[in-house]
Amino acid sequence: MTTPDTLFLKDVKRKIDTVIKADDQANVFQEVDEYVITREISNKLASFFETYKDKGPINGVWISGFFGSGKSHLLKILSYVLENKEYNGYRLGEMFTGKVIDDRMLRADIDFCLANIKSESILFNIDQQAQITNRSDESALLKVFYKVFYDHQGFYGFQPHVAAFEESLFFDNYYETFKQEFEKHYGQAWVEVRKDYIKPQINEAIAQTCSIVYNDHPEKYKDYLFKWQSQYKQSIEDFSYKVSQYILAKGPGFRLNFFVDEVGQFIAERTKLMLNLQTLAETLHTKCGGNSWIFVTSQEDLENLVGDDSRVQSDDFSKIQGRFKVRIPLTSSSVDEVIEKRLLTKNEQGTATLTRLYEIEKENVRTLFSFSKNGIQFRHYQSPNDFVNKYPFLPYQFDLFQQCIKSLSRHNVFQGQHQSVGERSMLGVFQQILKDINLADNKVIVSFDQMYEGIAGTLRSEAQNSLLLADRNLRSVNPMAIRVLKVLFLIKYYDSFKATARNLSVLLIDNLNVNLTTHNKSVEEALALLEQQSYIHVKGNEYEYLTDVEKDVEVEIKDMSIDNVQITQFINELIFDGIIRENKIRYAQNGQEFEYSRKVDGILFNREKELKIDIITPNHDNYNFSAFYTGNTLADHTLMMVRLPPDKRLIYEVRLYLQTEKYIRQAQSLTGMDMVARIRIEKGQQNVNRKQQLQTSLNTLLADATIYLNGIENKSSTSRDGRNRIFEAAQDLIQLAYPKLVYLSNVTLDERQLHSIMTGEDQSLFSQDPTILKSAENEILNLLERRKIQMERTSLSDLKEHFSKKPYGWSTMAIWCLVALLFKRGKVEARETANLLSDNELLDAFNNNRSWLSTLIAPQVELKREDINLLKQLYQDIFDESNPHIEGREAALLFKTTARNREQKIRDLLKEAERYPFLKNLGPMAKQLNTLATMDYVTLIESIRDYTDELVMLKNTTYDPIMQVWNSGQKKIYDHIYSFYNDNKANFEYVDVKEREIIVRLLKDQTPYKGHSIREAKEAMDSLERVIQTRIHEEQQSLTKLIRGKMEKIQASNEFREASDNARDTVIQRFEEVLFRAQNQTFIANLNMLEQSITELYTRQLNVLVSSKPQATLQGGDESPQPQVKYMTLDELKQQVRIAKHQIESLQDIEEYLQVLKEALEEKIKEDYKIILN
């Protein structure tokens, strides 16, 4: 029989102060003596002491760690070590150094600091000290530092103005005198009554004492502390100065360090306080020359505390990081080591006993404590030593318990507004379990539910009400249920651990000899009971503890009324919308897609289609009757029935999903507690996950389902994916429903293929085996023939309606492709009303569903081969190319198309008939071609004989000769003659008219392509052109000579010499412009007119010269009144002479006209005009 005494080195029931408090000085010696320097802490301390021994830019240390990590303990130990006070004859720093065994450098650094750096430590819990002020006060942090600093000096820090008064006395060397005189006067010690200074007697005593100390009148010191209070101010600068003065007074090499416990939760979410902490540390460093350090602890590391706070600017954050650059994060590995060394260390007997046990049970242990692969994984015992060090605990419990406590803390389940979960350290929890557990059997193992008792006393009552209620109601019924509930409470908010039945069973194992079958069954029964009574709820295959409020919500959810129709509707959505996700089944043989009806338990959830897929759930009345499936599918070959495997949770989970959804929907309009609102949000998220899990589960059920077709079970698909299995089985459904679908073989008949058939772009279908679609084409032809015999017309809509249903199942596009093939082979014709459709028109009808009803398809009319051959021969004769088509319809359509193109070409030529009169001869041929192009192809073939002779004649006698002229050099000659004639009409009256008549005759000729009229007209044009050019040249030479003579004459005149330079340039430029026009003029009449204007030009330019001549001036500067000479031509003067008659008829008339002319000349001379005669 084993006992704790036979296993453990130390008494596990001994008193261990498991919660380290900053203000607790009673157990200092034990704290240092039992402190464990773990490997992790050793490494962190090495970095710290290396930094601390030198005065660098750093004076801040940030110690972080969560529940039970030992951060407060380390803070307190460092305060003891650096101060190196003596307790019970031992120096605490030297005691600590003795624990450093494996790191000589660390030991040397600690020794150096103890020998060379004298210091005092101010250790305090900031949350406790902050009672002096309001936490929302931005200066709260500074006020605490003032308080503890004053307290450290023996002043009254609780009232900082009183402390400041005391400090003033101290610096004036009056403090001791004051205290002595006060006690003499009042009868009690100052430090005992100073907190009550507002009492009149004490206030009076203060005034009397100050008058003695300062040798002054007492009245001056009346209400003296109240005056101090009114004038008292605090600032970081002032505080740092006071600290620096304190350090200076202590002598060289002295340091004053502040050790602040739980600063993280004090300044969390208070950006200003954090920045104040940084400023305080920085100012202390500056003012004190690196001789004042700040050590702080926090449950969070520095980055997490401020990293997501947008109010902390990046530069401020960088300063905080720089100031607290020494980081000591403590992890769970340190906790493991501390617990093992302080509590679980075994004696020799225990080590030997447990080593033997491990060798026997190690494989069993690995099997028992293996969790499912989903979720976080924990390590097993690594070795016999690991087993010995941790027994009776398991490796996973150290980390899992710590993570659970973290997550519970984040959800505010512990007592107190700023409850530190460290009030129960992990060491304390583990020790309590050891005290309570019975280790008489060394195969006893601690189960995880036992951890609950260690924190139960610190939990909020509302957080554990459900557990307490269950303990009262269920302990006698099912004790395992209480254990399960405790475990679920602990892991409630730790999402990384998957609370499956298997994993929960592992957590609850408490003996290595456990019967797993019995144990697992017991856990499952407990889970079922807890779920039934709404203490827990299930999310897929995971379980979750319900708090008191969550339990009420769960009951409300389960009270929601849901009927079977709603359940069936939701299963339809999960399967058809969530898993299958397709409204059509794609047939693998030819890619055709088929719509289908969606049914669940016989209820239709979309429009009725020929193919039907019916999912039968355990909720159906006939679920267990095989005849129900065989009978229905045998009677209807278009029906596939899918029987889901039995699943006891499927309908329950579906109902719970719908109840939850209904609850959330109805609760949206309600107001309530914040906690209830949060639970609603969580329920909503859980429902999203539940829906995903239901889809996953249903996909698996579909993969395992029994599928019925044609009265028997279908096993063609072996897919393990539900969606694929349904679609693979549906291939057989399609073949059963549409036996004539095979007529389409595996040919792809789609929109692209239809376009290729109708446009002739792809002839592959014509070049393949002609029998490949023979059966399908015959089905269409047979239907057309039957309906024709029955005097029924057949539209595209009729064909679609007939062949899209069983036994065919052909797609609309497949039907159109088959009709198109028959059409192109001349087997059928297409009409709209009475008009036969061309290829493009029929293609448009196929592509426009509004045309399907009016587009009629009928068997092709039989045409005579000799008529077809005649059509092809005429095509060759008229269009000078062969018609390659054999079928009459195709040959006729090509004829119509080419005729239409030829007609259009002729119509374009007729637009030029005004310039080319002979083109009018093409009109009759255009009319004939138009007549043939507008006939339907049957009429064209049958009546082509009536048009053959005339068309051939028009082509040979008119079209070809005209085209010969049009496409040869003769047209260019004709165009040249036409342009010459129109450009030179004005010059023709100055030359012989013989050649002109020849040209005019050609331009009016209706048949210039006959005879030699074009050649003769060209010769006439060439001759006439030479004559005209010669005459123009002569006129230009004569005119040029005249202009140059006038220009020379004006340049020699006095007027030119006396004129200004600008005037002379202008005159010469005008003559040169006229000269240029004369040399480039091509019309004889214009040259003559220009010659008649030269004298007038000469006169105008003389006047320009005269007007520019400077005026003569008289002596004295006055302008001369002498008149200015002007010029005009005799012709200009004659235009001004008027007599009574319009013509001269007698000698008297001559005398009269000459007299008037003479008078006009005399008048102009008097006006200083000079008359130009020529």
Residue 260 has pLDDT above 80, yes or no: yes
- Give tens-digit pLDDT for 102-119: 889 999 999 999 999 999
Sign (positive or negative) of CA dihedral 708, 713, 714, 718: positive
Residue 1146: HSE in the Cβ half-sphere, 13 Å Cα cutoff: 4
Mean pLDDT of 341-355: 92
pLDDT on residue 914: 86
Identity of the highest mean pLDDT range in 314-328, 340-354, 1082-1096, 1126-1140: 340-354
Q: What is the pLDDT of residues 242-256, one digit of tens each?
A: 999 999 999 999 999
* Residues 573-582, mean pLDDT to the nearest whole number: 95
SS3 content of the chain, % helix, strand, coil (to 5): 60, 10, 30
Q: Lowest-confidence range among 122-126, 330-334, 635-639, 994-998?
A: 330-334
Strand bridging mode 828-832 / 855-859: antiparallel
pLDDT over threshold 90, residue 1054:
no
Q: Please write the tens of the pLDDT for every residue from 367-407.
A: 999 998 877 888 899 999 999 999 999 999 998 998 898 88
pLDDT of res. 889 = 83
Burial of 1161 by CB count in 10 Å (0-12 exposed, 13-18 middle, 19+ buried)?
A: middle
Q: Give the pLDDT score at 316.
A: 56
pLDDT digits (tens, 9 = 90+) for 701-757: 999 999 999 999 999 988 999 999 999 999 999 999 999 999 988 888 889 999 999
Greatest pairwise CA separation for the chain in angstroms: 181
769-788 pLDDT, tens digit each: 556 678 999 999 999 999 99
pLDDT of residue 307: 46
- Measured CA to CA, the distance from residue 739 to residue 732 in angstroms comes to 11
Range in 162-171, 495-504, 889-898, 1026-1035 with the lowest mean pLDDT: 1026-1035
Contact status, residue 330 vs residue 67, Cβ threshold 8 Å: no
Residue 763 is predicted with a pLDDT of 58
- Mean pLDDT score, 247-274: 86
> Which position has the higher pLDDT, 1162 or 925?
925
As a whole-number percent, the residues of the chain with pLDDT over 70 amount to 92
- Mean pLDDT across the chain, nearest whole number? 87
What is the mean predicted confidence (pLDDT) over 254-278?
84
CA-angle at 841, arms to 839 and 847, nearest 5°: 105
485, 467 contact by CB (below 8 A): yes
The per-residue pLDDT for 749 is 87
Confidence of residue 70 (pLDDT cuts 50, 70, 90): confident
3-state secondary structure of 206: helix
DSSP lists the bridge partners of residue 604 as 599
Q: Is the pLDDT of residue 1000 over 70?
A: yes
Q: What is the model's pLDDT at position 539?
A: 80
Check pLDDT > 60 for residue 1038: yes
CA distances from 286 to 277, 293, 567 (A): 14, 11, 73
Number of Cβ within 10 Å of residue 986's Cβ equals: 12
Give the orientation angle of helix 774-789 with respect to helix 796-803, to 10 degrees. Answer: 120
> Which residues are CB-neighbours of 1164 under 8 A, at least 6 positions away?
1128, 1133, 1171
For residue 808, which amino acid is it? Y
Instruction: Determine the Cα–Cα distance for residues 110 and 642; give it in Å rounded to an integer.
Output: 78
pLDDT of residue 314: 46
Homologous superfamily of 33-139+237-330 in CATH?
P-loop containing nucleotide triphosphate hydrolases (3.40.50.300)
* pLDDT value at 836 more than 60: yes
pLDDT at 416: 56
When pLDDT is cut at 50, 70 and 90, the band that residue 101 belongs to is confident
- Nearest CA to 81 out of 106, 58, 55 is that of 106
- The fraction of the chain above a pLDDT of 90, given in percent, is 50
